[in-house]
Structure 1
Amino acid sequence: MPKNIGFISTRFAGTDGVSLESAKWAEVLWDDRHVSYWYSGRSDREPGISYVVPEAYFGHPEVEWINERIWGRTTRTPLVTSRIREMTDYLKTTLYHFVKKFQIDFIIPQNVLTIPMHLPLGLAVTEFLAETGMPAIAHHHDFYWERTRFAVNGVTDYLDSAFPPSLANIRNVVINRPAEEQLALRKGHSTLLIPNVFDFDKPAPQPDEYSADVREEIGLTPDDVFILQPTRIVPRKGIEHAIKLVGMLKDPRYKLVISHDAGDEGLDYLHMLDELAKEEKVDVRFIADRVAEVRQRDSLGRKMYTLWDLYPHADFVTYPSTYEGFGNALLEAVYFRKPMMVNRYSIYIQDIEPRGFHFAEMDGIVTKKVVSHVQRILEDSHYRAEMVEHNYRVARRFYSYTVLRRSLRTLMTSLTGWGNGG
């Protein structure tokens, strides 16, 4: 029998990893006719299958008030404890309403039992699961011990009990090997590793009438080489290395296009990149004002494109990140059959590199050897075509929906005994 699945997070909206991967999980679960419903503080899912509780969003004023008083200090006041408790109880009530309204059989907490951006929500989900015994798959993207901002805190008791909790009705899923090792070491939990995935059995979308003019609209000529940096402008993305690469290529046709804005981590890094580009004489196009989560027109009547509108037009992708939980943009580039330069960040070394992909790899710095490899990729069409086809075959084997489907069926069967697909 098909089941009703309840996804729970602070936000299901936009292009963050949690929102993207949860949508893929729901798509795969639908193959077995399981219907997904969405509980969150913000949502872009269909209203008829969504349960939006504003207090469940990590940016809610009450959550921000609590966060200001529990991080960066080693104790908390009785008032803070009281307000954590009040919000936890309220959110737990809304979880019961959500489950009753949609007749939920199984829940999938998405990162809310992993990183304490919203401490009361994690506590509420933990208590709900402890009280009901409902089967759950906790999908963990990034743990609190991976972020320095959570290292000093006054809520160790809560972190120990709920991030993640030790309950027999929960199965833990992580997206990389170090997380698997750390969870076993710190909590004694067994896990299943399910990496980020793409539907590699379905060809990537190609430009249509709407997106056919992307290059022209961002100011590129037919002779320009479109080098795409498909990330936000934050320090861990290592975008200075992309600028250095283009500078060392010494060809004015090469244009570096950065798709997203500086987000909520300040503008200092953006200003540094701007100055570096001038020093290196690199033509950088910051096009965040032309990129949106959905196609639309801006206030000036200009087209807004999605990231997936950009990929087909790109000639090369740079991914010089210094840290990633996995690397969604890496798989996207492979999905669109684009060659790329990758920095060998730790998760890449442990989880992705052994799969046998062919990229231009840098190891912390852009060397002449790296530049020569990139030049060959850009100038040798036969070599480039073989590279991207090889990468697609590797990704289809290890990061496809088929892999995810098999893992989810195994997890659900182990928790419920429903058998394959229900």
Structure 2
Amino acid sequence: MRIGHLSFRLAGTDGVSLETAKIAQVFARHGHQNYYFAGELDPEDQADQLVAAPLAGQILVPEAHFTHPEALWITKHAFGTTQMHPQLQERIETLATKLEAAVVQFIGVFNLELLTIQNVFAIPLHLPLSLAVQRALQKTGIAAIAHHHDFYWEREAYRVNCVAHILETCFPPHLPNLRHMVINSQAQSALAGIGVHSMVLPNIFDFHEAAPGVDEYNADLRSELGLVDSDLFFLQPTRVIPRKGIELAIELVQRLDDLPIKLVISHHAEHNTLDYLNEMLALAARNHVDLRYLPARFKPQRVPGKGVHKVYSLWDAYVFADFVTYPSLYEGFGNALLETIFFSRPFLVNRYAIYQKDIEPLGLDAVVVEGKITDRTVAEVRTLLGSPTRVQRMVQHNLEVGRQHFSYETAWNRLYEILQTF
């Protein structure tokens, strides 16, 4: 089967891009061909070493990206106000028409038989693209799976708007050739409340593969980051946005101030969260925490230094991390959690809602907090840092949980079940 995957962006290390690449890998292992359509794509010769989508073809359409100037203008005037700008509807329609033609062309050029639509019907980052895909599905009748990672009604930024007519019909649309897939049971319940049936496919990882380790390329990672042998490497493997709860990681390190801990952030801040980054850097400085914001050193793929510093993959960071902090206040699921388990690293996790409902009952072994760092939290982390035997028991147990519940085999069973409904 020839399967297309479509989103605003299918590049880098954001959750949607990573999960889409994994789903493409699952399909490829069962003999299917994969094709990408997005406003941003990874260079074909720079695919991530662990989750590279095995692609038979791809189409880059810059106008499909949510940071395209026209998309930004539309989003700015659609949300935060109830007053419709005189040009808004016309500009939405103009771009939607152009993008609809591009989507139909994508389906036709590659003779696609199935389309997965990644978050385009869930978050109104790009209203014209969402309308375009909806109309392309109606026009072509192609079988499609809408994979929803989070929903607009979960975000404050979208509550005030002047485009209710679009949100009500397109997020998500009700079409006979469209099936719905969500990443957690909370989202499944939300869709059921508006009459939409969906299946849960949690975030996944290839737990039956061996994790990479130290090699010739990454052997100098610690020294390149300025860490000495006695330093403890705490990894915060998330973007710098408020819901990631990075202040809790800073507090944890501050309360372990007798230990030589370096807290490393591997992902970037968004264009609209630079204030939060500055707040975290200032908080760390006030509390004498050695916080290192190093997204320039970690990319989806390795980039050997050419006159400048070398760039490591995110996986290289996990290889050398002594402990992982994941104090998120909210997550749709938790990609970094699965990565941490795969790389056999001990971790701290905040009990965000989806963790409590969908993950915790499976029996993961972790340092768990509920929105604050307590004396018990600090003591648990200290014990782990001094007990390799305890850490080994923890990570082996978590690997077994991952293999049982979040593997590619689990994903294929769910996907196959959906395919049988067409």
Alignment-mate amino acid for residue 30 of structure 1:
A
In 2: Cα distance, 1:110 partner to 1:274 partner: 33
Higher helix share: 1
**Could you tell me which residue of structure 2 aligns to residue 54 of structure 1?**
62
Match of 2:22 among 1, 24, 49: 24
**Could you tell me which residue of structure 2 aligns to residue 67 of structure 1?**
75
Match of 2:309 among 288, 302, 317: 302
**Could you tell me which residue of structure 2 aligns to residue 384 of structure 1?**
391
Deviations 1:173-193 (A, max 9, x none): 0001111111111x2101100
Which stretch of the first structure deviates more once superposed, 371-380 or 37-46?
A: 37-46
How do 1:183-332 and structure 2 match up within 5 A?
183-185=191-193, 187-297=194-304, 300-332=307-339
Match of 1:141 among 127, 135, 149: 149
1:278 positional shift: 2.7
**Could you tell me which residue of structure 1 aligns to residue 13 of structure 2?**
15
SS at match of 2:280: helix
In 2: Cα distance, 1:285 partner to 1:60 partner: 31
Which stretch of the first structure deviates more once superposed, 47-56 or 90-99?
A: 47-56
Match of 2:110 among 83, 96, 102: 102
**Could you tell me which residue of structure 2 aligns to residue 43 of structure 1?**
41
SS at match of 1:341: strand
In 2: Cα distance, 1:154 partner to 1:12 partner: 29
SS at match of 1:14: coil
Report if aligned partners of 2:240, 2:273 keep a CA contact under 8 Å in 1: no
Report if aligned partners of 1:5, 1:105 keep a CA contact under 8 Å in 2: yes
1:13 positional shift: 0.9
**Could you tell me which residue of structure 2 aligns to residue 87 of structure 1?**
95
Question: How many pairs were matched up?
Answer: 412
How do 1:329-368 and structure 2 match up within 5 A?
329-368=336-375
Match of 1:159 among 162, 167, 170: 167
Change (3 A) 1:157 1:38: same
Deviations 1:233-257 (A, max 9, x none): 2211111111111111232322212
1:299 positional shift: 6.6
**Could you tell me which residue of structure 2 aligns to residue 400 of structure 1?**
407
In 1: Cα distance, 2:208 partner to 2:70 partner: 44
Q: Which runs of 5+ in 2 are unaligned?
A: 45-54
SS at match of 1:139: strand
Alignment-mate amino acid for residue 88 of structure 1:
A
In 1: Cα distance, 2:279 partner to 2:99 partner: 42
RMSD between aligned residues: 1.5
TM-score between the two structures when normalised by the length of structure 1: 0.94
Which stretch of the first structure deviates more once superposed, 334-343 or 248-257?
A: 248-257
In 1: Cα distance, 2:268 partner to 2:40 partner: 21
**Could you tell me which residue of structure 2 aligns to residue 418 of structure 1?**
none
SS at match of 2:270: coil
**Could you tell me which residue of structure 1 aligns to residue 179 of structure 2?**
171
Q: Percent identity, aligned pairs only?
A: 46
1:295 positional shift: 1.4
Report if aligned partners of 2:269, 2:277 keep a CA contact under 8 Å in 1: yes
1:63 positional shift: 1.3
Report if aligned partners of 2:179, 2:198 keep a CA contact under 8 Å in 1: yes
1:362 positional shift: 0.7
Q: Which runs of 5+ in 1 are unaligned?
A: 416-422
